Structure formats: structure tokens, C-alpha cells
Structure 1
Amino acid sequence: MLSRWHCVLIASASLAVLAFGQRRELFGTRKWAMYEHEMQDPVEDPPDAHVAGEFVFGRLRYRSNREGRAYARWGIDCNKSDRIFLDTLRRLTRVHTQSIENIIDIESDGVFDSPFLFAVSPNDWRLSPSHAERLRKFFDRGGFLMVDDFHGDRDWNGFMAGMRQIDPDVRVIELGDNEPIFHIAYDLTDRVQVPGQNVVHGPGYEKDGVIPHWRGIIDSEGRIIVAICFNMDIGDGWEFADDPDYPEKFSAHALRLGVNYALYALTH
């Protein structure tokens, strides 16, 4: 006869199996399925989704005041755009690249596992003191952040408010044509404003972000630690690279810029 303790163990195990089955049914087998309700454009995993690579694209999952909508701010263009970019990086370079993104929660020390982070619409990020401290350590340890898809003065001020939490003495520069980051793989002296898909057949810019800026935040040794794509939407250039309605010249430039930024992060 089973003891009362054994009955409890069997019942607990049965509940665990049931919970796993329900979770599998809810989320499927895709690696980041639990976050898909926060993503704008989730896609199926490639066959090698669970194979590690030397280059890992870290998609920063931050908090914002605009959560609870159809998708979260951090999840704009995710994860289709990330994967088209990573596939391009694999094809155009010899970098051993992981085929899918790593979603890195700002609450987690997993931040330190991906030296390359990508954040969309950082004007809306809401950083706690612990978030700012974690990102400060990330930069101190050699991390690189690429930010994209924010437009106009108000968005810029929101982004910089967060950066000043990370470093009150943060220094922003306009990146000139001779910067190595524009020549490490492709010569990008002639750069173009990459528009969002929503304005590509209209004005080509959003809000009051008429003039595109390629900016950078540098450390004490002059290394770019934050590459800032301001008044542009590089992520849409990636996401819609397979869309005949989105002009190829913008996608081509967005992908080349991403390749340069990734290689810079790996070599500087």
C-alpha cells in the first residue's frame, strides 16, 4: 500500500506533467514563444535555433510606460527583423553567428552574456536604479549597445534621460565619415536615412525627425559603446527586406550598417 507521502509525490508529479503539457500547448516549441505576445512580428524558429554561436545578438527586453498594448515597445520589429539581419551576417561574413536572437531581460544578469545588445525605441525605456547600474557594468565590461527607431526632440530627451541614469557624464558625438565603424566591412560614407515602412512612401521621416543622425556615445578611450540610429528605422530596413513594397536601397543600407556595427563591436 502506498504511503500518504508517496501519494503526495505522485500527485505532484502528475500536476507537473500536466503543467508542462499545458505550457507546451500554449507556447509551442519555439525558443522565445513565451514572449511572442510582446513581439510585433514573431516568426518560426530555424532548424538550428538552439545551436550556440560565437556572435550573439541580444535583444534588450526593457520596461516602459507603454506596455500592455498589442506588443511591447522593446518588441517592435521582433523577431523577424533580428533573424533577417542574423541570416545576412552569416552570409556576408565569416562570423560564427547564432541564427536567432537572445532575448535579454534588463532585470537579469544575462545582460553580461551578450556583448552586443540591440534596443528599439529607447526613448520609452523606464530604467530603475538597478537597471542603470547593470547597464553601466555592461559598458564597463566592454559591452556595445545599438539603439534604433526613435524620432524627434521629445524622443531624444527620453533616451538621454535614461543614458544619464547610466552615466551622468555621458558624452554624445556625431559620427563623422572617417569613423572606422563606417568602413570596417562596407564603406558607408554615402549614408541614407532609412525610413520606417509606415512612412517609406510618404515623407520618409516620423514626428519632427526630419534630419537623420548617426551618433555615438564613447568611453574614456574613445571607443563607441552606444551606436545611435536617430531619426531612422534600421529595424524596418531589416524586417521588410523581403517585402517588394519596401525599397531595396533602404534595406541594403540598413543591413550593411548592421554588419559594420556588429563587426565593430567584435573588434573594438
Structure 2
Amino acid sequence: MRFKLIFILIIIGVSQLNAQQIAVLKYGGGGDWYSNPTALPNLAKFCNEQIDTAISMSTETVAPGSIDIFNFPFVHMTGHGNVFFTNEEALNLRNYLLSGGFLHIDDNYGMDEYLRKELVKIFPDKELKELPGDHPIFAYNYKFPEGLPKIHEHDSGRPQAFGITHEGRLILLYTFESDLGDGWENPEIHNDPEEVRLKALRMGANIVKYAFEN
């Protein structure tokens, strides 16, 4: 019985080591970083089932100034309002991204004006640029020939994907006027048609796979 228990513990330990971890960024400034609580678990489930990832189903949170952020190859950030990074947090985020991390920021409507000035703190020497429709992230697993899909309507704006690159690699993706995270949520929350949710999940899977493999 003792040997069986040891064997089970070893198997659990190996599975935990093999599991890929993603996290939500818990930023300061008063914005609701905790928006869309069902989004990442649903995205992780979809990715595990459809693109052969092994992402942990538990949603982790990480602060921008924490050394723990280096444990996550993919960090997701969302919200509706104010965003603020201290200089120390901005430096930590910069080091995280330049050392191989990936940050996906999804505007849940209302964070754009605050976010852009904070991104300058992280990368004063890099420009946030709109990604062209032929960027690999739009066809990494699922094809989106017209670029970023529109999931929720707010101001009748065109969905746009902006990015910051380093040495040819996209390290930060900012999705605007799309609201992918709402599409990842449980279907009863926003009552989106299934085809709309599927577009959001497929685009999310492209982002995750790109982040893991580049």
C-alpha cells in the first residue's frame, strides 16, 4: 500500500510539472482586473481539447511586480478602467517579456486611455503598432483572414490587434474593440451565439499557441 501511494504521488508530481500555467495579471490603479472570471478556465479547456495543450484548469493570479510572473509563459490582462504600474512593476514586466514571457491585454471596454500611458513605462523605446492581417498569430492554428474577430459591440469600432515586438518576436498583444474575453466566458453570461464564442475561443487558442511556441 505504501509503494502504491508513493507511485501515485510521483505521477501527480510529474503531471503538475508537465502542466502549463497561465495567469491573470492583478494590476493596480482601481481597474477591475478580475473581470471575466470564467474566461481563462474555459479557454484552457478549449485549448487542451482542441490544440493538445496541457494547461492547468485553475486560474492563477500574479502581480506585475512579483518574481512569480516568470513562472508563467502566458499572462492575460483585462478590465474596464484605470491601470497603473509603479516603476518597479514596469521594470519587472519589461524583464519578464524580454526574457521570453508573453502578455495578452484584452480591453473589456474602457481601459484604453489608461493602458497606453502605462505601456510607455514598460517600453519607452518601443512602439505599440497595429498588426497586419497577415501576421502569423491570425493563422497559427485557426485562420482569420480578416484579422482580429469582433466579439462584442461597444462603439461600432473596428477590432484592432496591436503589438510590441522584440527581435522579431511578438511579446505583447493588445486586442481592442473585440472583447475576446467576453467570448471565452460561460455562454449564459453574455448569451453570445455559439459561432461567436467559437471565434473567440479559436482566436484565443491561436494566441496561446503562439505564446507557448515562440
Matched, 1:170 2:126: yes
Aligned to 1:54: 19
Aligned to 1:120: 78
Aligned to 2:200: 254
Query: TM-score, normalized by length of structure 1?
Result: 0.68
- Point out which structure has higher relative CO (alpha carbons under 8 A, 6+ apart): 2
Distance, in Å, in 2 between the alignment partners of 1:136 and 1:168 is 10
Distance, in Å, in 2 between the alignment partners of 1:168 and 1:57 is 26
Taking only the aligned residue pairs, the percentage that are identical comes to 25
2:157 to 199, 202, 210: 210
The 3 A distance-change label for structure 1 pair 209 and 63 is farther
- Is the partner of 2:33 in helix, strand or coil? helix
Q: CA deviation at 1:170?
A: 2.2
The 3 A distance-change label for structure 1 pair 209 and 124 is farther
1:94-132 deviation per Cα after TM superposition (whole angstroms, max 9, x unaligned) = 122212222112232111110210000286221111110
Query: TM-score, normalized by length of structure 2?
Result: 0.85
Aligned to 2:144: 188
- Is the partner of 1:74 in helix, strand or coil? coil
1:222 to 168, 178, 183: 168
Q: CA deviation at 1:264?
A: 0.5
Structure 2 portions without partners, runs of 5+: 1-14
Larger Rg over CA atoms:
1
1:210-251 deviation per Cα after TM superposition (whole angstroms, max 9, x unaligned) = 2211121111x1211111110121111010335683212221
The 3 A distance-change label for structure 1 pair 122 and 170 is farther
Distance, in Å, in 1 between the alignment partners of 2:162 and 2:81 is 15
Structure 1 portions without partners, runs of 5+: 1-49, 67-72, 196-203
Distance, in Å, in 2 between the alignment partners of 1:112 and 1:156 is 25
For the 8 Å contact 1:57–1:102, the answer to whether it is kept is yes
Distance, in Å, in 1 between the alignment partners of 2:189 and 2:113 is 33
Distance, in Å, in 1 between the alignment partners of 2:17 and 2:44 is 13
For the 8 Å contact 1:55–1:96, the answer to whether it is kept is yes
For the 8 Å contact 2:30–2:81, the answer to whether it is kept is no
Corresponding letter in the other structure for 1:159: L
Q: CA deviation at 1:143?
A: 0.8
Distance, in Å, in 2 between the alignment partners of 1:52 and 1:59 is 20
Distance, in Å, in 2 between the alignment partners of 1:169 and 1:213 is 22
The 3 A distance-change label for structure 1 pair 53 and 194 is farther
Q: CA deviation at 1:172?
A: 1.7
Q: CA deviation at 1:55?
A: 1.9
Question: Which aligned segments of 4 or more residues in structure 1 are displaced greater than 6 angstroms?
Answer: none
